[in-house]
Structure 1
Amino acid sequence: MSESLKMHARLAAPIEAVRRAITDAAELRVWLAEHAEVELPRRYEFWGRYTPEGEAPHQRLLHVDDDTLRFAWLLDGVETTTEFSLRADGESTVVTLSQSHFSFEEAISGTSIRGVLQTFWSLAIANLAAHLEGQALLPKTDFTSAELRGEMVINAPMAKVYQSLTDSEQASAWFGYPIGIEPWVGGRYAMGGFEAGYAAKVIDLDPGRKMSVDWGPTGVTTWELAESDGKTKLTFVQSGFDESNPPYGAWTGSVSGLAELRRYHEMQDWQSIWLSVEMPGAQPETAAAAG
């Protein structure tokens, strides 16, 4: 699987629990897909609205053993290869996800559904981590809908959550990638930092509660905070895009990042689950921080 997307994450669960979560159909239906059927060593399939081209199962099991699961996955007419590799790391497990036929150019242009693979697996692995930790899952992307909306509850005061969403240093920490933020209407929101060249624009701001950022063709991202029994409810919405071609990749990536926002506030000694990401065609700093 040369020139594959590779994602490495440390999950807070023993290898037996991780192996069961990725091979048991009932568990797959919790963290990965709407539908799943598994009969090892012959069958490994998942499909439904939370799966790209998920109107029917398109997977073919290639190999399975105690540490590896590999399957073919037909996407946009091309048979790709996906592999989970597990390694015990004390009481934790390091999982490596390898995905062939991922193109960073397709991710940016949206010319193929394969362009969503990096953010699809980022969100899936973030939800796998939450499932194993007994946490609420993040909203899965519905690839049959043009409504991009979700919410989550964070066990932290609103003021702290707001600060972590609008302060460049904190946002860069939990998202795992430099972000430059000018938290006022007309200010810049720059993925990669202010020196990266391109910046989205803050178009609405209610200090302590709400922010909207205009990303151009992919639409406007809005998040809003509300107090919820001493915790903070975060509602996030994408709007203003071409509904015939929803920005599934960008949306899925932003949702996956919110998993670390929650862990950032709720874990005393927070560490990201992500160890590294290798993306063919992306700049090294982009690949290292993705997911």
Structure 2
Amino acid sequence: MSDPMTLRARVQAPVKEVRNALTDPAAMRIWLAEHAEAGPDGSFAFWGRHTPEGDAPHQRLLHADDRTVRFAWTLGGVETTTEFGLEEEGSDATIVTITQSHYDHQEALANTGIRGVLQTYWCLALANLAEHLEGRELTPKIDFTTRDMSAGVVIDAAPEAVFDSLVDSEKVTRWFGFPIAIEPYVGGRYAMGGFDNPQPAKILELEPGRRLSVDWGSTGVGTWELEGSGGRTRLTLVQSGFEGERPPYGAWGGILAGLSELRRFHEIPDWRPIWVE
């Protein structure tokens, strides 16, 4: 078993509100899962199409107090452990830490097992927890029942500004939270980690302010389509084609989590990432 995976995010809400959202079934059905249940009898479960192996509940509550929720979650035939920890940051913000056992980064890169999706799954879930508690529109969740990905959001910024933040290396690196180097022309490189990446993605289409299409290799082709109205942008993301039998749900989760931060980048004054080092 590898070391536990840890994610930390800042949510602009008091600890008490965040703690309630972690175990209130009505709230869980908004930010986390299609179906959820939790109660004073110790029941705690979530399932549905937005949950890995979500055909039925596979969780078991281990511990809960005012600052911690810990549960067992069986995935791929292995019982993993997930823990939420809450830390007050002033009177109106909370640092949420997720610790997840049985996550293997190499398994995630190779897309060889369901537990490989856990890092990006929890990134997107944390982003939507923040959106929910801050009264913002949620980012579309992964659908683990489909072999295609399509998601649409409205961004409170003009198409030219949104498009620029998809092809400008410095801006993409800022909102995505990982170094990305881009050659903004058809045939140019779109390189995760920088141009030293020996296998960069390639730009297939580029229409300024309207369309960007990138070939990501084994995980397929991603296309961003932009349509403007009244100073706002309808951004539609479609991910099509992939190698192998298993859809790249982990990669899709990473793209959607990034989409959440892209919206915040354009819409929140004095923006800073929700992620805490």
TM tier, smaller: over 0.9
| Aligned ranges 1:95-134 → 2 under 5 Å | 95-134=96-135
1:215 partner amino acid: W
Structure 1 gap ranges (5+): 277-291
CA distance in 2, matches of 1:241, 1:196: 20
Residues 237-284 of structure 1: per-residue CA shift (max 9 Å, x gap): 1002248321111011011011111111111100100013xxxxxxxx
- Which residue matches 2:36? 36
Secondary structure of the structure 2 residue equivalent to 1:60: strand
- Which residue matches 2:228? 227
CA distance in 1, matches of 2:229, 2:46: 35
Task: From the superposition, tell whether residues 244 and 195 of structure 1 become closer, same or farther in structure 2 (CA, over 3 Å).
Answer: closer
CA distance in 1, matches of 2:164, 2:204: 18
Task: From the superposition, tell whether residues 25 and 175 of structure 1 become closer, same or farther in structure 2 (CA, over 3 Å).
Answer: same
Is the CA contact (8 Å cut-off) linking 2:157 and 2:231 kept in structure 1?
Answer: yes
- Which residue matches 2:168? 167
- Which residue matches 1:58? 58
| Aligned ranges 1:67-216 → 2 under 5 Å | 67-90=67-90, 91-216=92-217
CA distance in 2, matches of 1:84, 1:263: 23
CA distance in 2, matches of 1:258, 1:65: 32
Is the CA contact (8 Å cut-off) linking 1:41 and 1:63 kept in structure 2?
Answer: no
CA distance in 2, matches of 1:83, 1:89: 19
Question: When the two structures are superposed, what TM-score results if normalisation uses the length of structure 1?
Answer: 0.92
Structure 2 gap ranges (5+): none
2:62 partner amino acid: L
CA distance in 2, matches of 1:126, 1:50: 15
CA distance in 1, matches of 2:269, 2:118: 32
1:83 partner amino acid: E
- Which residue matches 2:5? 5
Residues 26-78 of structure 1: per-residue CA shift (max 9 Å, x gap): 00000000000001351110000000000000000000000000000000000
1:223 Cα deviation (Å)? 0.4
Residues 93-115 of structure 1: per-residue CA shift (max 9 Å, x gap): 00100000000011011111000
Secondary structure of the structure 2 residue equivalent to 1:73: strand
CA distance in 1, matches of 2:6, 2:166: 28
- Which residue matches 2:270? 269
Task: From the superposition, tell whether residues 273 and 249 of structure 1 become closer, same or farther in structure 2 (CA, over 3 Å).
Answer: same
Secondary structure of the structure 2 residue equivalent to 1:159: helix
1:197 Cα deviation (Å)? 2.6
Residues 149-183 of structure 1: per-residue CA shift (max 9 Å, x gap): 00111101111111111100000001011100111
CA distance in 1, matches of 2:247, 2:254: 13
CA distance in 2, matches of 1:75, 1:168: 37
RMSD: 1.3
Task: From the superposition, tell whether residues 55 and 192 of structure 1 become closer, same or farther in structure 2 (CA, over 3 Å).
Answer: same
- Which residue matches 1:16? 16
**Paired residues, what number?**
276
- Which residue matches 2:27? 27
2:55 partner amino acid: E
Secondary structure of the structure 1 residue equivalent to 2:227: strand
Question: When the two structures are superposed, what TM-score results if normalisation uses the length of structure 2?
Answer: 0.97
CA distance in 2, matches of 1:207, 1:228: 16
Secondary structure of the structure 1 residue equivalent to 2:272: coil
Is the CA contact (8 Å cut-off) linking 1:146 and 1:243 kept in structure 2?
Answer: no
Identical amino acids, percent of aligned pairs: 58
CA distance in 2, matches of 1:135, 1:168: 27
CA distance in 2, matches of 1:264, 1:56: 36
Is the CA contact (8 Å cut-off) linking 2:221 and 2:240 kept in structure 1?
Answer: yes
Is the CA contact (8 Å cut-off) linking 2:160 and 2:208 kept in structure 1?
Answer: no
Secondary structure of the structure 1 residue equivalent to 2:196: helix
Secondary structure of the structure 2 residue equivalent to 1:13: coil
